[in-house]
Amino acid sequence: MSDESLVSTENSALHQARLAYKPPLPPSLQNIHKLTATMDNSDDLHGGLPPGDQHTLKMLFPHVYGQELMALTKTSEDHQMNPLKIGVVLSGGQAPGGHNVIAGLYDSLMKVHHDSELIGFIKGPGGIVDNKYIRITEELIDSYRNTGGFDMIGSGRTKIESLKQFQAVKAAMEVHDLDGLVVIGGDDSNTNAAMLAEYFKQENLKTKCVGVPKTIDGDLSNKYVEMSFGYDTCCKVYTNEIGNIARDGRSAAKCWFFLKMMGRSASHITLECALQSKPNVALISEEIRRDGQTLQQVVDELADVICARSHVGRDYGVVLIPEGLIEFIGEFNDLISELNRTLATKLSQTVLGVLKKAEQKIDYIESTLSAKTLKSYTVLPLEIKMQLILDRDPHGNVIVSAIETEKLIGEMVGIELERRTKEGTYKGKYNPQYHFCGYQGRAAFPSNFDAKYCYALGHVATVLVAQNLNGYLSCVRNLAKPVDEWQPYGVPLTGLMNIEERHGKPKAVIKKALVELEGEKFKLFEKHRDAWKIQDAYRYAGPIQYSGAAELTEESNFHVRCKL
Amino acid sequence: MSDESLVSTENSALHQARLAYKPPLPPSLQNIHKLTATMDNSDDLHGGLPPGDQHTLKMLFPHVYGQELMALTKTSEDHQMNPLKIGVVLSGGQAPGGHNVIAGLYDSLMKVHHDSELIGFIKGPGGIVDNKYIRITEELIDSYRNTGGFDMIGSGRTKIESLKQFQAVKAAMEVHDLDGLVVIGGDDSNTNAAMLAEYFKQENLKTKCVGVPKTIDGDLSNKYVEMSFGYDTCCKVYTNEIGNIARDGRSAAKCWFFLKMMGRSASHITLECALQSKPNVALISEEIRRDGQTLQQVVDELADVICARSHVGRDYGVVLIPEGLIEFIGEFNDLISELNRTLATKLSQTVLGVLKKAEQKIDYIESTLSAKTLKSYTVLPLEIKMQLILDRDPHGNVIVSAIETEKLIGEMVGIELERRTKEGTYKGKYNPQYHFCGYQGRAAFPSNFDAKYCYALGHVATVLVAQNLNGYLSCVRNLAKPVDEWQPYGVPLTGLMNIEERHGKPKAVIKKALVELEGEKFKLFEKHRDAWKIQDAYRYAGPIQYSGAAELTEESNFHVRCKL
């Protein structure tokens, strides 16, 4: 045999095919020279906020607050366009499609004028501050089209906050003589983009700052932004895994699978994957908070389902658990707060330093907790008790994200089932298995949807810069429809903001969207979920397909379908 | 929007497409009436064994030992064929393609004669003993073609060992008047199939027992059986995940990913996935045993790679770890043996029962260990120490499979890096992440390769029964070539056996194939792996594709390519 395919520079066949894929564009974006931005007055962007918030926003963003929604529409005549120079940066966690935003930027810039230039700041916003960048060439772009990951220019989590940082950004804009800075990021990064836009204007820079909505979490979503990119692919990657695991579970008929679903605080990924895969149970954090459920109540309800299935001979099943769940459980939050307070005291630090054994530390911590909190702590499995006091961040706080929520739930269910076994109300066998639908999704090859969506978003970002729009978010609407009907928009970033109190100070932030319990998508889930509990209604989506019939390659997700 | 697709009976688009897929057959299997089995004397099947083993096998299998390899070849004339009745059973863990073996059996039986019948014994070999079965109809088959899982008839792990069980099987064969019993399973199940074949012959039953080589682990593989089914799909599912995680790692540039690879004892899956994905490190258990490495040596070598990558600014990477690794590390095996002996004593059980705290139990256990073993135990992370003494099977033994090997390695690497940090030889940041390439692979939709291979295996099994071959394994050879060149074979099961001592008694078993360190496949890995350590040579395979160009859908794995 030949070992050609082991030569490190050779791509897989699918990789090669994806590099060659040409994402179709909506008609309006096909000829950039015929585009114009027109105000869309159909909606009062700023009217939804309380007058106090509007006032604060106006104070914080004197130059960019109050801008209007802009639709990008076709005109009949061609505009003469000058070369543009744009800098682009990736901010935060990976999301499938990031490279296609950059490809969209590049291709559209070349259409604007072949002397246009694109530079990429390296490893996130810190790269702007330090002026670390590369020039993005045709050759580079061609080796990243339709691929996953952010490795073309890297990403980072630096927040641009201090005056020194702002000044460094200004210097970078000036040294490169940039017409635009495109920030590809989530809610925090786009909040930061709005601040840069305001600063650029205040400093009379020619640079326009434009954001692009990225995040697999799906929480950058509102009336104007149908969805962030990456979410579609990630949900499809996880849905395939859920189906495979459900089918395995049903075949062997002896394991309960607890799947932790990536997606930070909100439960969007869990909800979408549930609609696509129909597991026996999917916990939705927002609903658990609304109903004021305790951890034990959540566990009891799961145990009820397990008992009911066992009763009909099904000692197996699949449960989806959003990774942010425990932050939505009141008593658990109280416990974390109290632990943080206790762990921060000098006394505790000294005592914990002296005690050698983990369990001695646990005993000590239990002796410090209030009666109510102690009750929440003592019921936890040993492993979780240890995680809560041993894994602490540099400030001494509990690292909530490090808690293996799926194990916490699965082990507590085990304790409850043991109780029921002794009581005689449960006779089944309980064999929990754990899985994390996590990192394997964030850098996957984008679905055709995300490939097209991101490519369009890149084009829109260029047009927004060309149209001198500063402090705007690149948007494409009507996403549930075929590409031909997609509508490009520019949404003023400050129109997406509200005021939240952070450390006692008012702060302008883009609101993280949680699952709307009155929304159509949740209602759909609510209507059907009971039918999935006892029956095996699993839907086996299979892996993402890139060629073949449209129903295989272009299926739209429930998130955009529910926006119709 | 409509919520049609939520109706529980509706399949996904890919599911529908897979149901409609028609796996092509090798020409020889296209007309069953023209097939004949002819002896293939090109090879002395039994010659490789020591004469003592040959003698023992002859004693254990007086009726079926010594049968010849049979090639199934085309003749010019059509044979008249009578209806056949076959029973089929799935045994052991899920492997993609199982349903297609059954579809192959069904379709070939219908070609033999439209009055043929197929029944499926339910939930594994226990279903034969208890005579629990369903009749397999066209309608049932049509709803499972090319799907993953074993849920059509279920699977189980019952071993048929006692005389009573053998008699119950005989009764089931007689009551159904079966011409054939097809056992779809791994090495153990096919060893069991050989025993049934011998028993059927001894009892003068007309039923022929035929095996089909199934296992994702890849350890049912030898000179005659190129590979077991399911392995191809599973490796492709995991390879996609590895690529995604590697790309995520490279993009964020801050995590080391330790991936535990399913596959029982042997490292076949790890080796195949490594060749397909080119991670920074892939541990091969067989090599570690050959070199007599200690756990600390394995950890040190990993730490060396991490330090070397950190030195060139790469504080990230991917390590593949076969799930059976620790069984191949001598000192760890000694530790387990000693723990099992200690934990089995009355004294230990009493003491451990009295001690409430996990760490008190650990202290006690440490006081009982020999100096050498104690050294291996004390270096382990707390969590693993606890797993080793708290999780025990009903016989009181350590449950080796429950040990989270990826965490064991990752945490020990952390301890070593901390040491090097203090020493000043390592300045990087170490952030380990863990992932299990496990259950999400075993019940995936079979790749086109596995779909075709299994469909052909089902046909071959029918022909073996029709040709009155008893105690044979259904085989297809030349798998790296296009389907047109595949060659169907029947391999006598006893020809795959050797004698192993189990509990002091000689036992005939099909030898589990380990990774051959002198074989071409491992050599290929050995030749290239150093280049993958420091450079990012990751290959991004992407998810399994089912339609489109052949290079996307029909890529053969290294396992069969190395058999060419």
* Between A229 and A48, the higher pLDDT residue: A229
Residue in this structure with the two tokens 């096919």, named with its chain if needed: B190
- Count of the separate structural domains present in chain B: 2
DSSP state of A34: G
A289 and A328 Cβ atoms separated by less than 8 Å: yes
Which amino acid, residue A223? K
A422 close to B (CB below 8 A): no
The closest alpha carbon to B555, from A17, A305, A257, belongs to A17
Q: Which residue of A has its CA nearest to B481?
A: A1
A532 close to B (CB below 8 A): yes
B225 and B513 Cβ atoms separated by less than 8 Å: no
**Do A109 and A244 lie in a common domain?**
no
Give the one of B17, B151, B249 whose C-beta lies nearest to A247's C-beta. Answer: B151
Give contacts of A 224-243 with B, CB under 8 A.
Answer: 237, 240-241, 243
Which amino acid, residue A545? Q
**Do A162 and A260 lie in a common domain?**
no
Whole-number percent of chain A with pLDDT over 70: 98
DSSP state of A402: G
Whole-number percent of chain A with pLDDT over 90: 82
Q: How confident is the model at residue A518 (pLDDT cuts 50, 70, 90)?
A: very high
pLDDT given for residue B397 in this prediction = 77
Cβ separation B250–A539 shorter than 8 A: no
Is A363 a domain residue? no
pLDDT given for residue A356 in this prediction = 84
The closest alpha carbon to A438, from B12, B236, B252, belongs to B252
> What CATH number is attached to the domain comprising B295?
3.40.50.460
Q: How confident is the model at residue A9 (pLDDT cuts 50, 70, 90)?
A: low
Give contacts of B 152-211 with A, CB under 8 A.
Answer: 154-155
B217 catalytic residue (yes or no): yes
Is B216 a domain residue? yes
Rounded to the nearest integer, the mean pLDDT of chain A is: 94
> Model ipTM?
0.96
Q: Answer whether residue A392 shows pLDDT above 90.
A: no
**Do B101 and B181 lie in a common domain?**
yes
Is A112 a domain residue? yes
Give contacts of A 77-96 with B, CB under 8 A.
Answer: 93-94
Task: Catalytic residue, from B179, B217, B219, B450: name it.
Answer: B217
Tokens of B359: 């760490």
pLDDT given for residue A344 in this prediction = 84
Phi, psi (deg, nearest 5) at residue A112: -60, -50
Q: CA-CA distances (angstroms) from residue B43 to A331, B48, B256, B561?
A: 72, 10, 48, 22
**Do B200 and B322 lie in a common domain?**
no
**Do B454 and B486 lie in a common domain?**
yes
- Express each pLDDT in A160-198 by its tens digit: 999 999 999 999 999 999 999 999 999 999 999 999 999
B252 close to A (CB below 8 A): yes
**Do A428 and A455 lie in a common domain?**
no
Is A381 a domain residue? no
The two beta strands, B117-121 and B85-90, are parallel
Is A417 a domain residue? yes
Is A40 a domain residue? yes
Cβ separation B528–A3 shorter than 8 A: yes
Distance CA A215, CA B284 (A): 37
Mean pLDDT, residues A35-44: 86
- Express each pLDDT in A396-413 by its tens digit: 778 877 889 999 999 999
CB-hemisphere CA count at 13 Å for A340? 13
Is A45 a domain residue? yes
3-state secondary structure A157-191: CCCCCCHHHHHHHHHHHHHHCCCEEEEEECHHHHH
Enclosing H/E stretch for A277: helix A268-277
- Write out the residue range of the structural domain in which residue B492 sits: 3-230+446-510
B441 close to A (CB below 8 A): yes
Mean pLDDT, residues A475-487: 96
Give the dihedral sign, CA A431/A280/B133/B458.
negative
The closest alpha carbon to A30, from A73, A86, A62, A82, belongs to A73
The closest alpha carbon to A264, from A114, A471, A95, A135, belongs to A95
A234 and B244 Cβ atoms separated by less than 8 Å: no
The closest alpha carbon to B260, from B244, B283, B287, belongs to B283
**Do A415 and A535 lie in a common domain?**
yes
Active site residues of A: 217
Distance CA A181, CA A178 (A): 7
Q: Which residues of chain B have pLDDT under 70?
A: 1-9, 564
A512 and A191 Cβ atoms separated by less than 8 Å: no
SS3 category, B24: coil
**Do B251 and B226 lie in a common domain?**
no
Counting one residue from A and one from B, how many pairs have CB atoms under 8 Å apart? Answer: 233
The residues that bridge with A118 in the sheet, in sequence order, are A86
* Between A316 and A563, the higher pLDDT residue: A316
- Express each pLDDT in A237-248 by its tens digit: 999 999 999 999
User: Taking CA A439 as the corner, what is the angle to CA A434 and CA A445, rounded to the nearest 5 degrees?
Assistant: 125
**Do B153 and B211 lie in a common domain?**
yes
Kindly tell me the number of DSSP H helices and DSSP E strands found in chain A.
23, 15
**Do A56 and A203 lie in a common domain?**
yes
Tokens of A476: 């494409």
pLDDT given for residue B140 in this prediction = 98
SS3 category, A96: coil
Cβ separation A543–B541 shorter than 8 A: no
> What CATH number is attached to the domain comprising B100?
3.40.50.450
Distance CA B365, CA A166 (A): 59
Q: How far is CA B172 from the centre of its chain?
A: 29
A179 and A144 Cβ atoms separated by less than 8 Å: no
**Do A166 and A45 lie in a common domain?**
yes
Task: Mention every residue, 6+ apart, whose C-beta is less than 8 A from residue B306.
Answer: B256, B317, B413, B417, B426, B428, B430
Is B452 a domain residue? yes
Distance CA B392, CA B404 (A): 14
**Do A331 and A477 lie in a common domain?**
no
- Express each pLDDT in A315-331 by its tens digit: 999 999 999 999 999 99
Residue in this structure with the two tokens 């420091």, named with its chain if needed: B534
- Express each pLDDT in A317-368 by its tens digit: 999 999 999 999 999 889 988 998 888 888 988 998 898 888 888 999 999 9
Tokens of B219: 């350890």
Residue in this structure with the two tokens 């005579």, named with its chain if needed: B131
A219 and A394 Cβ atoms separated by less than 8 Å: no
Residue in this structure with the two tokens 């069953």, named with its chain if needed: B32
Cβ separation B528–A148 shorter than 8 A: no
The answer to which of A28-37, A222-231, B161-170, B355-364 has the lowest mean pLDDT is: B355-364
